[in-house]
Amino acid sequence: MDENRDSALGFFHKTDVFPMAMELIPMGCEMHKHVVFRTLGTLMMLFYGFAWASEEASLTNSLGMTMIRIAPGSFQMGSTDGDYDEMPVHDVTISRSFYMSATPVTNAQYEAFDPEHRALRGKRGLSKEDNEAVIFVSWLEAADFCDWLSKKEGKLYRLPTEAEWEYACRAGTTTRYYTGDELPEVYHREQKAHLEPVPVSLRVGQTPPNPWGLMDMHGLVEEWCLDEYGPYPGTEQTDPIGYENSISKVTRGGSHGVELNYLRSANRLGALPDDKNWLIGFRIVLAPVPPSLPLVPEKELWATNVRQDAFEWPPTPPKDNGYFEGPIPFVQIPEGSRGPLFSQHNHCPDITFMPNGDLFATWYTTLEEKSRELAVAAARLRLGADTWDPASLFYKVPDRNMHATALWRDRDSDTVYHFQGISASYGWANLALFCRTSADNGMTWSGHRWMRFERGLRNMPIAGAFKTKTGAIILPCDAATGGNGGSTIHISLDKGKTWTEPGAGTPAPVFEEGASGGTIAGIHAGVVELNDGRLFALGRGDSINGHMPRSFSNDLGRTWTYAASPFPPIGGGQRLVLMRLLEGPLLFVSFTDPQHDSPQGLRFKDASNHEFTGYGMYAALSYDDGGTWPVRKLLTPGWGVFPPGGNTRAFTATSTQAEPAGYLAATQTPDRVIHLISSRLHYRFDLNWLKTPPLS
């Protein structure tokens, strides 16, 4: 067996096939390297009767890593009592032995390849010493490390497949952890749902090994796997290698600073391949890539049967009393769904229209807003259809909180943008921010482009992106995690290629009349450009003199000046809309009261000029860039009982009662119809209807 191994390695090393192949593949081209690894491994096994592993129980490589021999075998992969993506449990065979490093790669070992990584030691208070697990390493960098070590030693190093990782972690056990159904205290490292990283030692090899001699498999750091993430098949597998064309790479093992549930042997996680944070490291395997074929993901409903013909929007002459229709539900998820979509809590939507005439909406779907299962769903209202398609998964990186999502269509280029925040684990306190684009009516999307790679506050997208007269793309984002603290904007001056945050680094402002600062007053802000080029915003919270605050900027968001608006403040479960209509006026949509049991309402006028008190969602129009708001109308269908959605309780609509709350978003199609969505419902109306008072 040793003779066969040495013969095969000797051929590839002495003839320089492996080093030459690696030289031809640029660093970072990971998919091409997969092909090289898989091809070389297959050639070794086919032409040399190659048996990779020797009979030695362990080896020590040139970096001093102990490599443990893992014998071939079979196991049941997955869990019946875990997350949805751990099912179905299925039989997996690992047909060939391999060597796996006994511990994760350390700082000292990784920095033999990348000395510049030393500057990241101690970032966020973690992993300062030589013998601590390396973190802040992307999948691409981990793969490059394997390539470097392979070339250095003339052997085939790589990341473990997901199946190899779980097989090795279980080490013949079938319980939640290899220690049983409980994980002893000795393995714990701040195992709580921390929104911020908590400094803790990441020294490797300090916990008892599993039955096969591997250490730190439960909870030191998450570990990159070779595979692209996707759902488990319902069939037996031999040497599986995951999916192709997935957005995420698999990670395994859980980490410090998360709940114990994420440390289970069967738990699946993932991350974007160029992402890196304080939770993820890696360990390596010595073996060829299995010559298996990757699985192909199925298309989601929003990506199927999408027309590509451009729709010519007909001019719609205004009706005498205007046009109003709705509401109809745009969120349709079967009751009891618990992944990847969740019927329990659907919230924080956005909407745009596609060049083919379809409407497209996204929102987040979850059990709890701070939890790691939070994903982004999407649905289409296809041109000519009366009902929205059932919801399907739009974007999810496994076990990362996707908080939140926004859409925008550039009418000049027909490019549609998807803006997305992504946490390292929980909540929205530490988000990175990226965007993607679609040029085919949302059927396919580009890879992600980082807008703000460093995680922190001020990176949670808000519905209402727009482009200024000079071509600047502006995306509002929340600047705080609570009900107060304000909003900010991210801005691109080069068609979305690069982004800056004009108000970044400014001291926390005091939101009061006449004061100024680098942050918009109020979270979930709506922002528009005024005719004189200034920016104007309204937001929730940070009330001024008992009113909703308004903010003005003369310098594209570097500084803002604050004043009280004429509108009442809103609260939890509510988000406003502020936009400029195609006809010219500003449209503002909000709520008369925060959600509580004693609403005050607002005064409205009917067609006979009689005043009445209305409650819930209303619209206002300004023809002088927010100076005055002479039109104000309750947005109610006047009838019907509507079920709850997101943070919105069920309500009964009457002539004086509209929807009491919801996270609002809106778009206006070229036929001048305004499409407004709340946390569940879709309303349609036009400017003429808004200007027409209700009947007495």
Cα 600 to its chain centre, rounded Å, is 38
At residue 28 the predicted structure's pLDDT band, cuts being 50, 70 and 90, is: very low
At residue 109 the predicted structure's pLDDT band, cuts being 50, 70 and 90, is: very high
pLDDT over threshold 60, residue 101: yes
pLDDT over threshold 70, residue 44: no
pLDDT of residue 49: 35
At residue 17 the predicted structure's pLDDT band, cuts being 50, 70 and 90, is: very low
At residue 50 the predicted structure's pLDDT band, cuts being 50, 70 and 90, is: very low
Select the more confidently predicted residue: 274 or 645.
274
pLDDT of residue 321: 78
At residue 181 the predicted structure's pLDDT band, cuts being 50, 70 and 90, is: very high
The reply to whether 57-286 and 331-456 are identical in fold is no
Return phi, psi of residue 33, to 5°.
-65, -35
Hey, what amino acid is at 647? N
Burial (CB count within 10 angstroms: exposed 0-12, middle 13-18, buried 19+), residue 67:
buried
Average pLDDT of span 355-367: 97
Contact 107, 121 (CB under 8 A): yes
pLDDT over threshold 70, residue 55: no
CA distance 399 to 558: 35
At residue 527 the predicted structure's pLDDT band, cuts being 50, 70 and 90, is: very high
**Which residues have C-beta within 8 Å of that of residue 580, sequence separation ≥ 6?**
466, 528, 529, 586, 587
pLDDT of residue 318: 65
pLDDT over threshold 70, residue 581: yes
**How many CA atoms lie within 13 Å of 36's alpha carbon, on the beta-carbon side?**
23
CA distance 433 to 201: 29
Which alpha helices (H) appear in 248-391, and where do they start and end?
none
pLDDT over threshold 50, residue 630: yes
Which alpha helices (H) appear in 230-327, and where do they start and end?
none
pLDDT of residue 54: 52
- Select from 673, 692, 682, 671 the least CA-distant residue to 642: 682
pLDDT more than 90, % of the chain: 87
Of the ranges 38-52, 335-349, 466-480, which one carries the lowest mean pLDDT score?
Answer: 38-52
CA distances from 242 to 253, 295, 297 (A): 17, 6, 10
Contact 525, 536 (CB under 8 A): no
pLDDT over threshold 60, residue 558: yes
Contact 91, 174 (CB under 8 A): no
At residue 84 the predicted structure's pLDDT band, cuts being 50, 70 and 90, is: very high
**Which residues have C-beta within 8 Å of that of residue 552, sequence separation ≥ 6?**
534, 535, 536, 537, 560, 561, 563
Average pLDDT of span 97-110: 98
Domain edges within the chain: 57-286, 331-456, 462-569, 571-696
Burial (CB count within 10 angstroms: exposed 0-12, middle 13-18, buried 19+), residue 233:
exposed
Strands 222-228 and 280-281, by their bridges, are parallel
- Select from 674, 664, 652, 445 the least CA-distant residue to 580: 674
- Select from 344, 314, 341, 306 the least CA-distant residue to 644: 344
The pLDDT tens digits for 371-423 are: 999 999 999 999 999 999 999 999 999 999 999 999 999 999 999 999 999 99
At residue 696 the predicted structure's pLDDT band, cuts being 50, 70 and 90, is: confident
Q: What is the CATH number of domain 57-286?
A: 3.90.1580.10
Find tokens 């047909």 and name the residue.
95
Average pLDDT of span 33-50: 44
**Which residues have C-beta within 8 Å of that of residue 303, sequence separation ≥ 6?**
442, 443, 444
pLDDT of residue 47: 39
pLDDT of residue 648: 78
Strands 90-94 and 237-238, by their bridges, are parallel
pLDDT of residue 552: 98
Phi-psi region of 660 (alpha: psi -120 to 50; beta: other; left: phi over 0): alpha
Q: SS3 for 645?
A: strand
The pLDDT mean for the chain works out to 92
DSSP string, 58-72: EEE-TT--EEEEE--
The pLDDT tens digits for 437-469 are: 999 999 999 999 999 999 999 999 999 999 999
CATH topology of domain 331-456: Neuraminidase (2.120.10)
Please confirm whether the linkage preceding 199 is cis (ω < 30° from 0). no
At residue 647 the predicted structure's pLDDT band, cuts being 50, 70 and 90, is: confident
CA distance 552 to 528: 10
Which pair of tokens denotes residue 685? 């109306």
Average pLDDT of span 81-104: 97
pLDDT over threshold 70, residue 688: yes
pLDDT of residue 303: 98
